[in-house]
Amino acid sequence: MKLSEYVKIYRKKHGLSLRQMAVLCDCSHQYLSKLENEEITAPTAKTLANLAKGMGITLHELLTAVDDMDIYYDASLFTKDECPAKAVSEEESALLNAYTDADDRTRKMVRMLLGIEQ
């Protein structure tokens, strides 16, 4: 299932309007509409985290529940080898470098904070 379908199904299953869902997910209703209609196909990691939080699930659960998010799942692990082939901002690049340079314990803690690992 695509992210667009997952969000729309969740919203309708819970009887939420676009505006109500947008409040839960800390984004605009216009953004959600575009996401559901596949006008937005590459949401940021922050947006994905907000969507997951708004739906009451972890980012890890969201990324594994949808078929078109494999690329984001890899990026959420912050490894250079698995980072999607796209231009990243200086801030994202700094995070990738910091994660890569960290020790195993720190990397595990980051994954736990992101809800990727228990």
User: For residues 93 and 86, what is the distance between their CA atoms, to the nearest angstrom?
Assistant: 11
Q: pLDDT tens digit string along 16-46? A: 999 999 999 999 999 999 999 999 877 877 8
User: For residues 107 and 43, what is the distance between their CA atoms, to the nearest angstrom?
Assistant: 24
Average pLDDT over residues 100-105: 77
Q: What is the pTM of this model?
A: 0.61
**What domains, with CATH codes, occur in the chain?**
3-113 (1.10.260.40)
User: For residues 69 and 31, what is the distance between their CA atoms, to the nearest angstrom?
Assistant: 18
Contact (CB, 8 A) for 76 and 61 = no
Q: Where are the alpha helices (DSSP H) in the chain?
A: 3-13, 18-25, 29-36, 45-54, 59-65, 70-76, 90-101, 104-113
Contact (CB, 8 A) for 65 and 5 = no
Q: pLDDT tens digit string along 52-102? A: 999 998 877 887 788 765 444 444 444 444 444 444 566 666 667 777 777
| Higher local confidence (pLDDT), 1 or 112 | 1
| Amino acid code (one letter) for 52 | A
